[in-house]
Amino acid sequence: MRLLLVAFLALHCAAALAQLRTIPREAWMGTIRHVEAMTVEIDGQRLQLAPGALIRDVDNRLVLPASLQEPEPVRYMLDGAGMVQRVWILSQPEKDALPPPPSPFPR
68 falls within a domain? yes
Cβ atoms of 13 and 57 closer than 8 Å: no
Whether residue 50 is predicted with pLDDT greater than 90 in this model: the reply is: yes
Give the per-residue pLDDT at 43: 94
Whether residue 17 is predicted with pLDDT greater than 50 in this model: the reply is: no
Give the per-residue pLDDT at 97: 78
Distances (CA, A) of 37 to 17, 23, 64, 103: 34, 25, 10, 24
67 falls within a domain? yes
| Residue 47 to residue 82: CA distance in whole angstroms | 8
Number of domains the chain contains = 1
| Residue 97 to residue 42: CA distance in whole angstroms | 21
47 falls within a domain? yes
In which domain, by residue range, is 32 found? 24-107
80 falls within a domain? yes
At residue 96 the predicted structure's pLDDT band, cuts being 50, 70 and 90, is confident
- The beta strand positions in 1-107, using DSSP E, are 28-36, 39-42, 45-56, 72-78, 84-89
Of 24, 87, 33, the residue nearest 61 (C-alpha): 87
Whether residue 11 is predicted with pLDDT greater than 90 in this model: the reply is: no
At residue 6 the predicted structure's pLDDT band, cuts being 50, 70 and 90, is low
Whether residue 105 is predicted with pLDDT greater than 90 in this model: the reply is: no
57 falls within a domain? yes
3 falls within a domain? no
| pLDDT per position as a tens digit, 58-92 | 999 999 999 998 999 999 999 999 999 999 999 98
35 falls within a domain? yes
